[in-house]
Structure 1
Amino acid sequence: MNDSYDTLQRAADIRKMHYSDIDRIILVEREIFLFPWSPGNFADSIKAGYVCQVLEQDDTLTGYGIMMMSPEEAHILTLGIATYWQKKGLGKKLLQYFIEHAKKREAKSIFLDVRESNHGAAQLYKRMGFHQIATRKGYYPAMCGREDALVMQLEL
């Protein structure tokens, strides 16, 4: 990774997601996902007390993520980086935040699902130590029917 990526990562702040962030999150969500979450999905996650974080560069919302904790494991429900900010190390930074949070809560593992076609995200997860443990057939809606999800796990 070059110096500009390192500088970008240091300058990006991770903070708790607020209801007032949802409109900006939805703009990113609709930009990067063919079948985006609804504003209600994000509001429900905040209300449920999930680990809901946003990534900001100056005053620009560059990404977000939501992780659900249970006594011994964590589940990353969504993680998104705005198109312009992708491939700059910000997804890795947010993922590292969630991994550290889960470790502090003494989780034994983290799970996540990723679209089979989302090669960039799957490669990031593999580089961060996640391994594919299963496939959920037809899990995601797709333009021509359904798409499989790769179920990935990181043992902590």
Structure 2
Amino acid sequence: MLESYLTLKPEFEIVMMEPQDCHEVSVLHAERFPRAWNDGEFHSLLSQEPVFGFVARQTNAFLRKPLPGFVLARHAAGEGEILTIAVQPKLARTGLGWRLMQAALREAQARGGETMFLEVDGGNAPALGLYRKLGFEKVGERKAYYADDKGAKSTALVMRRVLR
């Protein structure tokens, strides 16, 4: 019981991703994906006009902690695309992924987006659950698209959500 008084429930703000965030973003990406993007790749993407992203920052932490989560997306010609999203494993099912996705969806819509696309590993049940709750529907498949760190191949599902 005393432990609950000593443990703060984390609180987060979602802010636009800036170039100085790219290193932290790449570290989290490497923890969550077998083919990690480095900070140079994130910086290169973020420097492109149609690309935007958001990071989550814990607002009630006494010490600087690892980046809780991020989302990177792009918008062009009325279509948005989630390029990648990651949340710290210990923060799974806390609503942080939902909040990051909502920020990206709102930004794409504000830029004139009518639809948002993403690709997800067909075996990633938690991500599929989140995307379906957000209104995404499967519109295609790419067989043997993803490879894990052991070389096993899995299907990518292409999903779409109408924004307007």
In which range does the TM-score fall when normalised by the shorter chain? 0.7 to 0.9
Show the counterpart of 1:4: none
Cα distance in 2, alignment partners of residues 38 and 146 from structure 1: 22
Show the counterpart of 1:76: 82
Show the counterpart of 2:57: 56
Q: CA deviation at 1:20?
A: 2.2
SS in 2 for 1:123: helix
Q: Deviations over 1:9-43 (max 9, x none)?
A: xx311112223222222221122112222222211
Identity percentage of aligned residues? 28
Indicate conservation of the 8 Å contact 1:31/1:83, yes or no.
no
Cα distance in 1, alignment partners of residues 109 and 14 from structure 2: 17
1:150 aligns with 2:157: yes
Within-5 A mapping of 1:89-108: 89-108=95-114
1:115 aligns with 2:121: yes
Aligned residues: 148
SS in 2 for 1:134: strand
Structure 2: tracts of 5 or more residues without a match: 1-8
Q: CA deviation at 1:121?
A: 0.4
Show the counterpart of 1:45: 45
Q: Runs (4+) of structure 1 moved beyond 4 Å?
A: none
Cα distance in 1, alignment partners of residues 108 and 13 from structure 2: 19
TM-score (norm 1): 0.87
RMSD of aligned residue pairs (Cα, Å): 1.6
Cα distance in 1, alignment partners of residues 36 and 154 from structure 2: 15
Indicate conservation of the 8 Å contact 1:22/1:42, yes or no.
yes
TM-score (norm 2): 0.83
**Could you say which structure has the larger radius of gyration?**
2
Structure 1: tracts of 5 or more residues without a match: 1-6
